[in-house]
Structure 1
Amino acid sequence: MSFDAPVGTESPPEAAVEPTENTPDTTESADAAPSGPTARPTPPADEVIGVRQGMFGVTGTGDTSGYGRLVQTVAMPGGTPAPYGPVFDEVIAHLRLALAKTFDEAVEKIVVFRGELTLHIRRDHLVLVAKTLRDNEALRFELCLGASGAHYPEDTGRELHALYHLNSITHNRRLRLEVSVPDSDPHLPSLYSVYPTVDWHERETYDFFGILFDGHPSLTRIAMPDDWRGHPQRKDYPLGGIPVEYKGARIPPPDERRTYS
């Protein structure tokens, strides 16, 4: 919403002051990037991974709601160049020192977006990075707050994403680890051995997205029936029209129920 200035409130031409030798020049563009230790990191350029048409990306439905002609760009924040900010710079510096030559191979990109730090990790190095973040005295991310998933069908070769939210109780800091795997090979090393708290979170992510966490002690469905076909939170999962697939459902007595460990 914009408002027009009331009539008569504009400054008269003679009120403008010409800069002199003793008057600082304030004509510098307001868009000029700040410099020095207080400079903010440059916003990352968006990484466009697809275009969605319609409200929910569904076509061929005879949509008459008025939203069928919407065109939305699906974009992810791109890598952020250093500096990342005082606290984030310190975390990255300690992690780079701890991993030594492995850092550039393990960390695919670093993203600072909306005041949060995300490290995109290549899956073969996920366990090593997690152990380093947990055990290094300068980092001490002792707690994993949970694991979740995301599905981007148009992000070719990296359709499935797994995200881990880490918390440092010692230093009162948080960061996010993100790992992407292709739909054709949805295997990812489990972080259960590093953070046992992800036990049920990884099961839920497997149940709803189909990511296979290798090394998990009991990777089973926890919401859908064992014989359920598909993973309901994937973007290619049908919207409605799903036949009822609860076959011969019964609740077994406690001594006959399936174990989760």
Structure 2
Amino acid sequence: MTFTDIQALLEDQFGQIFQVSTQNPQPYLVVPTDRLVDVCQFLRDDNRLFFDLLACVTAIDNGPATATMDVIYNLTSIPYEQNLSLYVTVPRNQAGEPLPSVPSVTSIWRTADWHEREAFDLVGIRFEGHPDLRRILLPTDWVGHPLRTDYQEIDEYHGIRNQ
């Protein structure tokens, strides 16, 4: 099944809600945030697709000038040897505003648990409905999200100088 075939199946099921990017070697679909869980559930459960593995969830801060952030989902159908990438774009928050939010897909793929925690910890995206959303790599009292483009490194943490 080609990327175009997968796109057609999804559009038959959900309508013309997707933006498509075929500029990269790995084409991807941009999914509206409010449809993410339904689309992912369909991708896993439909026997023609059976994307049974969530290989990775990662996030990108596109910077203050763009004012967006992306969450990227890399899916694999092991039996059909297919890969698919989904993007969800959210508005980037300003200082003092709540973190951007995306629904959790932990109810669909258990592997989302630690991937979503890492994206939360390092980029600062909240995953609504996550069963245990807390830092996974940094200490619980760490301030900020180090992979954001405007992150300011601290000079000292608990008496340890950062140089």
Q: TM-score range by the shorter chain?
A: 0.7 to 0.9
Superposed displacement of residue 117, structure 1: 2.1
Amino acid at match of 2:6: V
TM-score, with length taken from structure 2: 0.87
Is there any run of 5+ residues in structure 1 with no aligned partner, and where?
1-85, 248-261
Distance 1:170 1:234 in 2: 37
Matches within 5 A, 1:82-161: 87-97=2-12, 99=13, 102-105=14-17, 107=18, 109-153=19-63, 154-156=65-67, 159-161=68-70
Distance 2:23 2:77 in 1: 19
8 A Cα contact 1:225 1:246, kept in partner = no
Distance 1:146 1:103 in 2: 26
Superposed displacement of residue 116, structure 1: 1.3
The structure having more radius of gyration, on CA atoms, is 1
Matches within 5 A, 1:44-59: none
Per-residue CA distance 1:56-77 (angstroms, 9 max, x = gap) = xxxxxxxxxxxxxxxxxxxxxx
Change in Cα spacing, 1:119 to 1:246, as seen in structure 2 (3 Å) is: farther
Matches within 5 A, 1:100-249: 102-105=14-17, 107=18, 109-153=19-63, 154-156=65-67, 159-184=68-93, 186-238=100-152, 240=153, 242-246=154-158
Higher relative contact order (CA 8 A, sep 6+): 2
Q: What RMSD, in angstroms, separates the aligned Cα atoms of the two structures?
A: 1.6
Amino acid at match of 2:62: Y
8 A Cα contact 1:147 1:198, kept in partner = yes
Distance 2:92 2:24 in 1: 28
Per-residue CA distance 1:161-215 (angstroms, 9 max, x = gap) = 1111000112111010111111235011001011111111100100001100000
Q: Secondary structure at the match of 2:16?
A: helix
Superposed displacement of residue 134, structure 1: 0.7
Per-residue CA distance 1:126-151 (angstroms, 9 max, x = gap) = 00010111111111111100110100
Fraction of identical pairs, as percent: 35
TM-score, with length taken from structure 1: 0.56
When you count strand as a share of all residues, which structure comes out higher?
A: 2
Is there any run of 5+ residues in structure 2 with no aligned partner, and where?
94-98
